[in-house]
């Protein structure tokens, strides 16, 4: 029973952290986090050494769902590298249209924390490296003239679009896919 209670407490903390940090930012206080999770501060500190560890664990826990949301699924994997790259931006455009969209949670963590040694920064960098690697692989498979450069350009479009849409100053409907289509054409990606 105690193991189930600890797992449940941990899950409640991570669920609350994921939602609150995304919606309100990483400067959120421990009391607010614990109150939202229905967990005492003592319980939180028994499970995690600090709020920083809760944030890192929350971001790590969300990573598989983040990757699954962006990457083409089994049905889409048969498409061309160009189509797989465009799929990511179609997903971004769709997600950004939702009223609760606040941008990429991993970019937000990196920008807010500004500390490359923070445990959550390491998780967020890993998420960004995964996406960069995905773009690089697809660009190489699609015959891009310079897969590394194209991957970096795609990251700029992705992160810039995520930030602008998350801040509510840009609507992405068709904007990123049009931009990426031009980049793919200029790079020779099929």
Q: Which whole-number Å values give the CA distances from 48 to 21, 55, 121, 127, 184, in the listed order? A: 16, 10, 17, 22, 44
What residues in the chain have per-residue pLDDT under 70? Answer: 1-7, 75-77
Span 34-49, pLDDT tens digits: 999 999 999 999 999 9
Burial of 53 (0-12, 13-18, 19+ CB in 10 A): middle
The pTM of this model reads 0.92
pLDDT for 145:
98
Segment 109-120, tens digit of pLDDT: 999 999 999 999
Round the average pLDDT of the chain to a whole number and report it. 94
- What per-residue confidence (pLDDT) applies to 72? 87
**High-pLDDT (> 90) share of the chain, %:** 92
pLDDT at 1: 43
Q: Which class for 114: exposed (0-12), middle (13-18), buried (19 or more C-beta within 10 A)?
A: exposed
Q: How far is CA 142 from the centre of its chain?
A: 24
For 158, residues 6+ apart whose C-beta sits below 8 A from its C-beta are 88, 89, 92, 104, 131, 176
Residue 10 Cα distances to 17, 81, 184, angstroms = 10, 39, 43
């Amino acid at each position: 029973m105690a193991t189930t209670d600890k797992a449940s407490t941990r899950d409640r903390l991570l669920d609350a952290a994921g939602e609150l940090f995304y919606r309100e930012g990483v400067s959120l206080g421990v009391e607010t986090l614990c109150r939202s999770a229905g967990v005492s501060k003592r319980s939180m500190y028994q499970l995690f050494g600090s709020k920083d560890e809760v944030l890192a664990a929350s971001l790590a826990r969300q990573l598989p769902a983040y990757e699954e949301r962006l990457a083409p699924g089994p049905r889409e994997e048969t498409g061309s590298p160009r189509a797989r790259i465009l799929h990511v931006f179609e997903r971004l455009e769709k997600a950004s249209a939702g009223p609760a969209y606040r941008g990429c949670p991993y970019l937000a963590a990196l920008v807010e924390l500004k500390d490359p040694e923070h445990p959550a920064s390491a998780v967020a960098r890993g998420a960004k490296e995964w996406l960069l690697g995905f773009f690089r692989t697809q660009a190489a498979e699609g015959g891009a003239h310079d897969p590394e450069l194209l991957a970096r350009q795609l990251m700029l479009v992705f992160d810039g679009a995520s930030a602008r849409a998350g801040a509510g100053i840009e609507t992405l409907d068709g904007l990123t896919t049009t931009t990426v289509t031009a980049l793919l054409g200029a790079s020779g990606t099929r």
